[in-house]
Amino acid sequence: MRRVAAALITAMATAVCLAATAAAIPEQGTPEFDTYMEGLERNGFNLNPDTAWRLAHQACEGGLPGYIGWELAAQGVVGPGANQRAMDVARKYACPVQ
């Protein structure tokens, strides 16, 4: 019984650890983040890396929707549907495949 419980706990801990890395958005300075930044630039969004990371976090995991809108507007992402287009690009290049 102890072996079964130990194996179950180990399997659960491994699943939790792997799930955290599978759902992670790219961190600044990684090749994945550079690819994401290039994707943003190809689609006309020239954001600084901090804003781009927050945009990816908002698009992939959710958060406070109003805050990122103000930040994007301050960097020139304005117009009808501009925020949604930026979110779509972030989902395409930064969100993990599910």
24 phi, psi to nearest 5 deg: -80, 140
**Is 95's pLDDT higher than 50?**
yes
pLDDT band, residue 6 (cuts 50/70/90)? low
Structural domain spans, the chain: 25-94
Using alpha carbons, list the distances in angstroms from residue 44 to 3, 38, 50.
Answer: 56, 10, 17
**Is 22's pLDDT higher than 70?**
no
Predicted pLDDT at 81: 87
Query: Under a CB-based contact definition with an 8 Å cutoff, are residues 45 and 77 in contact?
Result: yes
Q: How far apart are CA 18 and CA 13, in angstroms?
A: 9
Task: Please tell me the pTM assigned to this model.
Answer: 0.68
> What percentage of the chain exceeds 70 in pLDDT?
72
Token pair of 2, please? 């102890």
36-49 burial, b for 16+ CB within 10 Å, e for fewer?
bbebbeeeebebee
Per-residue pLDDT tens over the stretch 52-93: 999 999 988 887 667 888 888 888 888 888 889 999 999 999
Predicted pLDDT at 15: 45
